[in-house]
A and B are shown apart, each in its own frame.
Chain A
Amino acid sequence: MNKHLLSAGDLSHEDALLILDTAAQLARVADRPVKKLPTLRGRTVVNLFFEDSTRTRISFEAAAKRLSADVINFSAKGSSVSKGESLKDTALTLEAMGADAVVVRHGSSGAPHRLASAGWINASVVNAGDGTHEHPTQALLDAFTLREKLANGQGDLAGKNVTIVGDVLHSRVARSNVLLLDTLNANVTLVAPPTLLPVGVQDWPCSISYDLDAPLGDCDAVMMLRVQGERMNDSYFPTAREYSRRYGLDTRRMSLLPEHSIIMHPGPMNRGMEITADVADSKRSVIVEQVANGVSVRMAVLYLLLGGIPEEGGATNE
């Protein structure tokens, strides 16, 4: 494992399986009378959120607390950032407070990388979503959910077909998922209107389709992406109704899926837009499980980054 978790693409096959196996063991802590492990006692995890988030921040907070770490929540609203403080000065403040890990969400792609490599802080940096770039722990929890549902919770995802649908252009979830699922040997198909695919997508390790019905008959899991209205400063599709007609998952499309396949969504959902309410609430939907798995996966990441000393060759803390 590296000292930081910035991109799903940095994880080797071995690292990814180690995180998933560790998460599988840690998931069972949730069933115990005392839902807490003493492992990270005395360590400080800072949740540094420059963008709004509910589930990711709460999930990281729950994960750190279950490992007995101290958690400091920092959100840009109501902090010195709204007075114009720079990322660097915020980082130096955190360093002075003795943070061991910084979980960062930022609206600018690359902010976590800057934080990790600029030498401002010694802490491990975990990317919790940067701009339209990456969201590696979301990809890990999706992979964990896929593995539990499709591969008996063991090994990788070799031969599994995963279809990712929607606003790929603005989605950090899609990029991280494509990278990680490729590492885990799954076959990924991206489905989106051409206007919502990023430049250079043809070089990603996946196939691309503009039509949603075609890949559904042979897919083990379909992952719907949120249409990110807040990032859309251009007209990417004519109307919301046309989008949901062509790229939304409704009951008819759900009936095209094979019996065993599952439906995923990273949340928050726009019900009626990319997914209809009856599909989101159907038995095949694992959206609520994804949230639960998020805590286990983030516990695994925090444990593997902070639970010991960095491996030989890595930068040392002390």
Chain B
Amino acid sequence: MSSGRTRTVLEASDIDRVLTRISHEITERAKGASDLVVLGIQTRGVPLAQRIARRIEEFEGQHVPVGALDITMYRDDLRLRPARPLESTQLPDMGIDGRTVVLVDDVLFSGRTVRAALDALGELGRPRIVRLAVLVDRGHRQLPIRADYVGKNLPTSMEESVRVRVREIDGEDLVTLTKSPPKPVGGGDAA
């Protein structure tokens, strides 16, 4: 963490502000919260989704369903690594049919995770609209995918890695950028 090649991008208070702004943008564009479903992509997208849903509830005074999406079985790089353990997928009781689904992830990188998430969603129901919110967009897309709501646009080189820590999982809120040897193509932890 404390090596000279690591620099802090967002601190806890920055992350709070960013999530508040994204929550406002989501309600502004959706003209309220009546048909919203917020889905976090496992693992660090999930607590971020919960925070966004809670904030929208505060602004709009109505319940916002929130869930979790595990995309492991839909990844396109499964054959490049040993089989991974699965995380849980939890959808709100009313499902996602006909709703506006906001996918939430921590880092947008190659776009492959989001592609997998869209495939997973298609088998769980038929949302009216799907939008994407990310805490950090670090560029280097390998697929034609973009985010609708971005916490921070972070220009990076391929040699750098972005690390997001959230208090629900890691005990603190922090986004850092580290210079590290290049990873094999196909994305790393923060793909």
Chain A residues proximal to chain B, CB less than 8 Å: 1, 18, 21-22, 25-26, 28, 32-34, 36-39, 303-311
Contacts and interface: CB of A to CB of B under 8 A. Distances in A.
Contacts of B88: 25, 28
A33 B82 contact: no
B82 A308 contact: yes
B70 interface: yes
A32 to B, nearest CB: 6
11 contacts: A1-B83, A22-B86, A28-B89, A33-B123, A36-B123, A303-B73, A304-B83, A305-B83, A306-B83, A308-B84, A309-B82
Given A1-B83, A28-B89, A308-B82, 10 more contacts: A1-B82, A26-B86, A28-B88, A32-B123, A39-B73, A305-B83, A306-B83, A307-B78, A308-B81, A311-B82
A18 B85 contact: yes
B85 A38 contact: no
A48 to B, nearest CB: 22
B124 interface: yes
Interface string B45-75: 0000000000000000000000000100110
A116 B184 CA distance: 32
A34 B85 contact: no
A33 B86 contact: no
B87 interface: yes
B1 interface: no
Interface size of B as a range:
10 to 19
B86 A308 contact: no
Contacts of B16: none
A1 B119 CA distance: 28
B29 interface: no
Contacts of A32: 123-124
Given A21-B85, A22-B86, A308 B79 contact: yes
Nearest to A300: B86
Main secondary structure of the interface of A (DSSP, over half): loop
B94 interface: no
A311 B84 CA distance: 11
A38 B86 contact: no
Contacts of B124: 32-34
A308 B86 CA distance: 13
B185 interface: no
B42 to A, nearest CB: 11
Nearest to B126: A33
Given A33-B125, A34-B123, A38-B119, A308 B83 contact: yes
Q: Which 5 A-B pairs have the closest CB atoms?
A: A307-B83, A308-B83, A25-B86, A34-B123, A37-B73
A35 to B, nearest CB: 9
B11 to A, nearest CB: 34
Contacts of A1: 82-83
A166 B79 CA distance: 44
A38 B82 contact: no
A37 B120 CA distance: 9
A34 B86 CA distance: 18
Contacts of A308: 78-84
Contacts of A310: 82
A28 B73 CA distance: 13
Contacts of A38: 73-74, 119
B85 A22 contact: yes
Nearest to A308: B83
Contacts of A36: 123
Nearest to A39: B73
A184 to B, nearest CB: 17
Contacts of A311: 82
A304 B89 CA distance: 18
A43 B74 CA distance: 15
Contact of B87 (A25, A33, A34): A25
A300 to B, nearest CB: 9
Contacts of B89: 25, 28
Contact of A303 (B79, B80, B83, B119): B83
A118 B109 CA distance: 45
Contacts of B81: 308-309
B86 to A, nearest CB: 4
A36 B86 CA distance: 15
